[in-house]
Amino acid sequence: MPLRDVERFLSPTGRDLHASAIRRMGTVASRHPDLISFAAGYPAAELFPLDELRAIAADLLGGSGDAIQYGPTRGYAPLVEALVGEMARRDVTVSAPELLVTTGSQQGLDLIARVLIAPGDAVLVEAPTFTGAISAFGNARPRSMAAVRQDDDGIDLDDLARVTARLRRDGTPPKLLYVVPNFQNPTGRLLSQERRRALLAWAEQHDCLIVEDDPYGALYFEGEVAPGAVRPLKAEDRSGRVIYLSSFSKTLAPGFRVGWMVAPEALVERFETAKQASDLASGSLDQRIACEAMRRGVVDRLVPTLRAAYRARRDVLVASLTARLAGQLSWVVPHGGFFLWATLPPGEHDEALLERALEERLIFVSGSAFFVDGSGHDTIRLAFSAAREAEIGEGVERLARALRAGVRV
């Protein structure tokens, strides 16, 4: 008798797994090549430095077999050293034992969830926040994931105080706060330096940890943000309360699955042990390619091109939205990163709009996917990173048609 009913075999985590709305959209996109996608926050593949990467791979595979042998769980040692240097350039002084190479930042979130979040815990996230964090944290089955509101400068400190007080009253003071300070996914917002300092004080006061996720910090739009505006919270973290995550996915290429995390040594040891049981180690060739790309200056040469390219796409998107939808949509103009966050006209619903957009062969991510409290149905996230400039105008046309279709109903 074939095993059809697998439910009885599932663990509680297995039963309640959190899938990502973004990845689901990616599956839709791959099936309909004539779609225009503002959905997945993919980097622009046509900007990958393929020639230089080909040369690096040829050199590495022309050397010893070590390049594709098992490697240490902590990471390829020269890459760890290079990342210590990269952190110094970000104004963060760390030593090698405080750093762990991960299989992308998503693995960092997963390791944090497993090592730190217990079923009785409360964790804080922004409203809205990155869906990958919602999934990873949710799989650890915390008692609550509480949402803290944002305004234009990022997380709202008054609401943070309110939510913290409420959780403390309920007997579950928050254990950690997750933030994406630089060009947040999904809103594109940049957290002010003043608020970063306030968050560190808040963490100290309430004996909390902060998870600082920083995939987009290098991708600011030149001239639009003050020098030092993207400086990490971790740079001022005197008490070791910040767990910092970053990645090569947006500055080199995501297919290599190489990221890193920085945390107090005692925590990094735990994350390393948890990673060992998860995947033994990150890919050896991938890590060496990333390391060589840093050493040879490939990443440094590429990043200004990426800033200019993503700014140009942002410009086309904002210009198209202004021309076609200024009366209907409102939006946050991002000064870096991949995303524009838009608020829908009264009465419009993100999921209903997405269904009509699909008929127009356009996809994006419904805003509610980024909220843990069931709200956000009046918002959508438009990723401009992977759409060619020529496509963006047409995408906005399709969005306008989908919105009109809604008004007609």
The CB-of-319 to a copy of itself minimum distance in angstroms stands at 26
* Nearest to a copy of itself of 264, 345 (CB atom): 264
Number of Cβ atoms within 10 Å of the Cβ of 136: 23
Among 82, 83, 92, 135, binds a copy of itself (CB under 8 A): 135
Task: Find all residues with CB under 8 Å of 223, minimum gap 6, and list them.
Answer: none
Residues 205-234 as x/- pattern, contact with a copy of itself by CB under 8 A: ----x-------------------------
Applying CB under 8 A, which part among 22-30, 218-226, 354-362, 388-396 lies near a copy of itself?
A: 22-30
The CB-of-278 to a copy of itself minimum distance in angstroms stands at 5
Sites for a copy of itself among residues 235-294 (CB under 8 A): 238-241, 249, 253-257, 264, 266-267, 270, 273-274, 276-286
The verdict on 201 binding a copy of itself (CB under 8 A) reads no
The CB-of-385 to a copy of itself minimum distance in angstroms stands at 11
Closest CA to 370 of 50, 82, 145: 145
Sites for a copy of itself among residues 158-177 (CB under 8 A): 175-176
Angle subtended at Cα 124 by Cα 122 and Cα 128, rounded to the nearest 5 degrees: 140
* Nearest to a copy of itself of 306, 400 (CB atom): 306
- Is the four-CA dihedral 94, 97, 102, 106 of positive or negative sign? negative
- Residue 57's Cβ-count burial label (10 Å; 0-12, 13-18, 19+) is middle
* Nearest to a copy of itself of 80, 399 (CB atom): 80
Applying CB under 8 A, which part among 112-120, 161-169, 296-304, 394-402 lies near a copy of itself?
A: 112-120
Sites for a copy of itself among residues 69-108 (CB under 8 A): 69-73, 103-104, 106-107
Among 11, 85, 228, 408, binds a copy of itself (CB under 8 A): 11
The CB-of-313 to a copy of itself minimum distance in angstroms stands at 16
Applying CB under 8 A, which part among 60-68, 161-169, 298-306, 338-346 lies near a copy of itself?
A: 60-68
* Nearest to a copy of itself of 138, 336 (CB atom): 138
Applying CB under 8 A, which part among 111-119, 184-192, 316-324, 389-397 lies near a copy of itself?
A: 111-119
Task: For residues 128 and 107, give the distance between their C-alpha atoms in angstroms, rounded to a whole number.
Answer: 21
Among 140, 163, 200, 363, binds a copy of itself (CB under 8 A): 140
Applying CB under 8 A, which part among 133-141, 185-193, 303-311, 342-350 lies near a copy of itself?
A: 133-141
The verdict on 319 binding a copy of itself (CB under 8 A) reads no
Task: For residues 382 and 317, give the distance between their C-alpha atoms in angstroms, rounded to a whole number.
Answer: 9
The verdict on 121 binding a copy of itself (CB under 8 A) reads yes
The CB-of-1 to a copy of itself minimum distance in angstroms stands at 6
The verdict on 14 binding a copy of itself (CB under 8 A) reads yes
Sites for a copy of itself among residues 24-53 (CB under 8 A): 26-27, 30, 40, 42-43, 45-48, 50, 53
- Is the four-CA dihedral 326, 328, 334, 337 of positive or negative sign? negative
The CB-of-72 to a copy of itself minimum distance in angstroms stands at 7
* Nearest to a copy of itself of 149, 296 (CB atom): 296
Task: For residues 220 and 156, give the distance between their C-alpha atoms in angstroms, rounded to a whole number.
Answer: 22
The CB-of-318 to a copy of itself minimum distance in angstroms stands at 25
- Residue 235's Cβ-count burial label (10 Å; 0-12, 13-18, 19+) is middle
* Number of residues lying near a copy of itself (CB under 8 A): 91
The CB-of-390 to a copy of itself minimum distance in angstroms stands at 18
